[in-house]
C-alpha cells in the first residue's frame, strides 16, 4: 500500500515510550536511552514537516514522571533544556512553531527560559505546530479546565444553560489546536497513560512494539498507512460513511474503528 498524501492525519500525537528499556537492552543507563530518543523526536518532526502534517504533539514529561528516581528526572529536564536550545535554529529554518501544553508550575527555570524563547521566536510560523506535553496529565488538565470555567461562571460570564462540550474545550490547554486524528504509542504497551483524555475521544490508536529510540521514518510511515486503512465513522454506520464520500461497497478498503497494528500483535 502506497501512502496517500491527500489523506494524511491533520494532527498526530505520540506517546514516546521505551527509552529506558532500549538502554537496558544496550547495557547502558536510562539517560543514554533518553538521549537516543531525542534523535527519534527530531526525525519524526522532520518527517511531519516534509509530509505537510500540520500538527504534532509529543508526550515528553507526564505528571506521573515526577515519581521516577530524582537523578533521572533531573537528567530529563537538563536534556530538554539543551534540546530546546540546540534545536531553535532548526525550528526557525523549517518554520515550525513550538507550543507547550501542561502545567508551568514545577518546571525548572532553565527549561522555562528556553521554552519561552523558543515559543516567542517561532510564534508566527504555521507550517507545523509542534506541541510538547510537559508536566502534563489529562485528568489534571480536565480538572483545571473545570476550575477555570467555574470561576468564570461565578462572575456571570457563563450560565449553566450555556455549558457545552465546545465551551468546555476552550478552557483546555491548546484550545486552538484540532483534536488528534492519530495517536501512536511505541514500546509495546497498550494504554493511553493519562494523555489528552478529552481530545482523543475519536482518535485512531496505533500501538507498536518498536521502542522509541528505534522508531524512525519507516515506522512512522507504516503508522500513517495503518491510519489510512481505518474507517472513521464518528458514530455513523459504514453505509453512511460511504454515501457521504460517494463510495461503493467495493471502494471500501478500511477495516475497524480502533484496531491494533500488526506490529503490536507480534
Tell me whether residue 112 is in a domain. yes
Q: Taking the model in full, what pTM does it have?
A: 0.88
Tell me whether residue 165 is in a domain. no
Of these residues, 4, 19, 29, 65, which one is catalytic? 65
- pLDDT for res 158: 87
Indicate the number of domains in the chain. Answer: 1
Of these residues, 17, 135, 181, 219, which one is catalytic? 17
Q: What does the pLDDT look like over 105-146, one tens digit per residue?
A: 999 999 999 999 999 999 999 999 999 999 999 999 999 999
In 3D space, the residue among 203, 179, 181, 205 whose CA is nearest the CA of residue 264 turns out to be 205
Tell me whether residue 91 is in a domain. yes
Q: What does the pLDDT look like over 18-33, one tens digit per residue?
A: 999 999 999 999 999 9
Q: What does the pLDDT look like over 162-194, one tens digit per residue?
A: 999 999 999 999 999 999 999 999 999 999 999
Place of cell 453512511: 240
Domain hosting 62: range is 11-138+178-265
Tell me whether residue 213 is in a domain. yes
Tell me whether residue 154 is in a domain. no
Q: Which residues contact 182 (CB under 8 A, 6 or more apart)?
A: 9, 11, 12, 13, 203, 204, 206, 223, 224, 227
- pLDDT for res 244: 66
Does the annotation mark 126 as catalytic? Answer: no
Tell me whether residue 130 is in a domain. yes
Q: What does the pLDDT look like over 224-256, one tens digit per residue?
A: 999 999 987 666 666 666 676 665 444 444 443
How far, in Å, CA of 167 to CA of 227, rounded?
Answer: 29
Tell me whether residue 122 is in a domain. yes
**For 178, phi and psi rounded to 5 degrees?**
-70, 155
Does the annotation mark 17 as catalytic? Answer: yes
Task: Specify the CATH number for the domain of residue 55.
Answer: 3.40.1180.10
Tell me whether residue 1 is in a domain. no
Amino acid at each position: 500500500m502506497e501512502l496517500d498524501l491527500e489523506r494524511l492525519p491533520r494532527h498526530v500525537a505520540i506517546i514516546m515510550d521505551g527509552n529506558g528499556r532500549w538502554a537496558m537492552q544496550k547495557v547502558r543507563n536510562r539517560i543514554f536511552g533518553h538521549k537516543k530518543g531525542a534523535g527519534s523526536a527530531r526525525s519524526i518532526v522532520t518527517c511531519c514537516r516534509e509530509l505537510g502534517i500540520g500538527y504534532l504533539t509529543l508526550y515528553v514529561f507526564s505528571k506521573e514522571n515526577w515519581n521516577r528516581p530524582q537523578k533521572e528526572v533531573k537528567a530529563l529536564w537538563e536534556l530538554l533544556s539543551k534540546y530546546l536550545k540546540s534545536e531553535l535554529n532548526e525550528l526557525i529554518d523549517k518554520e515550525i512553531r513550538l507550543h507547550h501544553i501542561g502545567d508551568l508550575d514545577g518546571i525548572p527555570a532553565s527549561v522555562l527560559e528556553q521554552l519561552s524563547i523558543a515559543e516567542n521566536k517561532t510564534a508566527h510560523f504555521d507550517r507545523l505546530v509542534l506541541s510538547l506535553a510537559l508536566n502534563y496529565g489529562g485528568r489534571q488538565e480536565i480538572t483545571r479546565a473545570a476550575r477555570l470555567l467555574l470561576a468564570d461562571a461565578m462572575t456571570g460570564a457563563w450560565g449553566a444553560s450555556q455549558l457545552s462540550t465546545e465551551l468546555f474545550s476552550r478552557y483546555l490547554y491548546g484550545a486552538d489546536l484540532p483534536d488528534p486524528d492519530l495517536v501512536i504509542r511505541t514500546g509495546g504497551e497498550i494504554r493511553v497513560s493519562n494523555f489528552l483524555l478529552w481530545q482523543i475521544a475519536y482518535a485512531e490508536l496505533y500501538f507498536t512494539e518498536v521502542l522509541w529510540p528505534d522508531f524512525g521514518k519507516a515506522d512512522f510511515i507504516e503508522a500513517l498507512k495503518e491510519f489510512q486503512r481505518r474507517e472513521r465513522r464518528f458514530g455513523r454506520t459504514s453505509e453512511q460513511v460511504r454515501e457521504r464520500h460517494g463510495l461503493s461497497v467495493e471502494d471500501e478498503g478500511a477495516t475497524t474503528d480502533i484496531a491494533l497494528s500488526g506490529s503490536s500483535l507480534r
